[in-house]
Amino acid sequence: MSTITWLFIVYFLAFANAVASQSESSIINRLPGFSGDLPFKLETGYIGVGKSDEVQLFFYFIESERSPEDDPLVLWLTGGPGCSAFSGLVYEVGTGFSYAKSLEGYNTSDTLAAAELYEFLLKWLKLHPKFLTNSLYIMGDSYSGIIIPILVQKYQMGYVIRNPVTNTHDDLNARIPFAHLKTSISEELYESAKNNCKGEYRNVDPSNAACVDDLNIFTECPVKIFTAQILEPDCQYLSPKPRPSVSNWDPDTLIEDPVDLLQSITHLPEPTRWCRNYNYLYSYIWANDKAIQQALHIREGSISEWVRCNKSLVYTYDISSSLNYHRNLIKKGYQVLIYR
């Protein structure tokens, strides 16, 4: 963090009424729970985008501690869609305080998200002109693999993506081969599903009873596996929500969001081992603390509750693949790093 200037957008929309819409930012010197001044320069604020600035995007901005006028400027976007970049800010491996002032602003899509982020960048740089000449990179993970290449094509910059979604059909269809490679399903089940489903696990013919049966069995197999991070413990003792029944095979779910497994918890059980879900719970408690929100200059009344990922977004998936965008950008000589 010391040699890069970081900009995190909390890309989440929550409906709110009668809240100011102008772009604004504040320097944060102190935060509750930390003794003394922060050891780095932190700025938070809102940038209005869309029709009449009806969408208010909240951001965290951390300035490079070395040479902010020379070091690269990084915009971090977290996947989801509808997840807060707070995850990218506080976890090594990203819904937040952004909101919309109308129901219309609550509707979004792949192409609209890219357009709004492009508008955000232009307005943010207008408010921070000293960074206009800095090298700019867009970084992100997961579903941002669909959005980032579109945005980069508009702004002409380098980009870095971790474990990106690139083709929704192929990525979703790879779950069973992936589970087989990681030995989380048996050889027998894999061969049966491959033969009965003919390698198609997403667009499944409901009349193909043998395929449907195999997929229902597959749904039950990872019941004790933390599917988001398969080598980490699955902390079911954190009051998990009931998992879907075998009849609810969802062909459009990439992975299970660990936050969905947590019900409202008033206190943590005595930890016997490290668990990633604790991190998500800590962030929920921290970000919903009124003193924290006041210190971050969150607009009062703009959201009722901070959530890391908002699954209630009215989201249109209008880009099924970003592969052609990647090919075009690489062909043009853009600086690109894609890793897992």
Alpha carbons 263 and 274: distance in angstroms, whole number: 19
Look up the pTM and report it: 0.79
For residues 255 and 228, is the Cβ–Cβ distance under 8 A? yes
**CA separation for the pair 50, 40 (Å, rounded):** 32
Task: Tell me the mean pLDDT in the region 48-55.
Answer: 88
Average pLDDT over residues 22-44: 88
Q: How confident is the model at residue 13 (pLDDT cuts 50, 70, 90)?
A: very low
Tens-digit pLDDT profile for residues 78-90: 766 545 554 444 3
Q: With helix as H, strand as E and coil as C, how does 111-124 read? A: HHHHHHHHHHHHHH
Based on the number of CB atoms within 10 Å of its own CB, is 60 exposed (0-12), middle (13-18) or buried (19 or more)?
A: buried
Query: What dotted CATH number matches 5-165+293-339?
Result: 3.40.50.1820
**Which of the four pLDDT bands, split at 50, 70 and 90, describes residue 137?**
very high
Domain ranges for the chain, please list them: 5-165+293-339, 168-253
Instruction: Write the single-letter amino acid at 193.
Output: A
Query: Residue 320's beta-bridge partner residues?
Result: none
The answer to whether 100 and 54 have CB atoms below 8 angstroms apart is yes
Tokens found for residue 79: 């996947």
pLDDT (0 to 100) of residue 111: 92
Q: What is the pLDDT of residues 228-257, one digit of tens each?
A: 778 877 775 444 344 443 344 555 554 444
Question: Is residue 122 within 8 Å of 23, Cβ to Cβ?
Answer: no
* Residue, of 280 and 198, whose pLDDT is higher: 198
Residue 316 reports pLDDT greater than 90: no
* Mean pLDDT on 261-268: 46
